Structure 1
């Protein structure tokens, strides 16, 4: 257990260093809401709490983390045709304003849709898998899924289907490229990914 936690902490330091060293100018949440209402709300909800499981909720994460994701979409380093098109229309100021608005919104509580997955999901999230060297998810994302500000996203109350897809994307390395998460996901079975996604969706 101790070795797994140390591995996770080392991964956190490496993966989060780039974000931690990027100062973020403050956006205007009022202007951000105007953009959200006309551009983002259809998929992510007016307050960042999306209804469709294919679209992630975008509330409660820090401006720095959300801004990095938008910049990655715009640069094409994160591959999603819809979001790449949306981000392409946003100026740097627009992105600052949108992320300022979303970062101030409160997440809505969500429950796991398949409670039978909870025991395995809890085990992976809290302790990892020592046999396959999967570290505990909470080492980076926190016991309640709130993440580490500016470094690792808030996951609690996210759609389980979305989380499972992101883990698979990290595993296959096509849509998302993150050495730390790709390595971790590559060691996870489909059953583990499904279970931990269900567990995470109920965290708050």
Structure 2
């Protein structure tokens, strides 16, 4: 059973990145540049499968930063790849020859699209004690308040009470995203496989002490958040 989860006072994040200067794209021009994106992410930014993230309405600064980071990684050579941008092997070659204006236009176009709500599911997760608990209740706790004992910050502090993000600050919308994708990115940040969260390592530190059960629970909860 899937349904929308909506709350008003929650408190940091899941895909946090740093605000990007120079986001001055033309969405109308971008509409003519996204044909290569549509196969995986959908023409309107709502991907058909959870293996690819929904990119509609994530915030233009955030989208532009991701595009620039992925392009930088793709253009890097040799050992430099390990410490450059954001590694997304599935996008190898796709952005390599685009201008920065192209990236700005694509980001502007997808930011103007409407994200379709995925929804949250009723399920249980097994915590470290071996006890099985309600995933929605645990996910809400992590999203709203974090975990003081383990040093996990609350997601809502950066991503907003209803998961709408903070576009000027570069924090993306999370609400309605595929839970599978949210979980994969939290695991990547926790493992240090994704590192484009800035020198302060905001997301790596946020995810560092999340257990597998907590990641599954908060990702599921996020899938049902909506600010509509």
Give me the TM-score of the superposition, normalised by structure 1: 0.86
Q: 1:35 Cα shift?
A: 1.7
**Aligned equivalents of 1:121, 1:84: Cα separation in 2:** 34
Q: Counterpart of 1:34 in 2: which secondary structure?
A: coil
Q: 1:67 to 1:177 in 2, by over 3 A?
A: closer
> What stretches of structure 1 move > 6 A for 4+ residues in a row?
none
User: By how many angstroms is 1:64 displaced?
Assistant: 1.3
List alignment gaps of at least 5 residues for structure 2.
1-10, 74-84, 125-134
Task: Provide the TM-score with structure 2 as the length reference.
Answer: 0.77
Partner of 2:38: 41
* Counterpart residue number, 1:202: 224
Structure 1 residue ranges without an equivalent (≥5): 10-14
SS of equivalent residue, structure 1 residue 188: coil
| Shift of residue 115, structure 1, vs aligned partner | 4.1
Of 209, 220, 223, which residue of structure 2 is paired with 1:187?
209
How many Å apart are 1:28 and its aligned residue?
Answer: 2.1
Counterpart-to-counterpart distance in 2, 1:177 and 1:46: 26
C-alpha contact (below 8 Å) 1:168/1:185 kept by paired residues: yes
* Structure with bigger RCO (C-alpha 8 Å, 6+ apart): 2
Structure-to-structure mapping, 1:116-155, within 5 angstroms: 116=124, 117-150=135-168, 151-155=170-174
What is the Cα-based RMSD across aligned positions, in Å?
Answer: 1.8
Q: Conserved in 1, the CA contact under 8 Å of 2:175 and 2:224?
A: yes
Which has a greater percent of helix? 1
The 2-side partners of 1:94 and 1:28 are apart by: 9
Q: Distance in 1 between matches of 2:41 and 2:105?
A: 16
CA distance in 2 between partners of 1:89 and 1:115 (Å): 44
Partner of 1:19: 19
Cα distance, 1:114 vs structure 2: 4.1
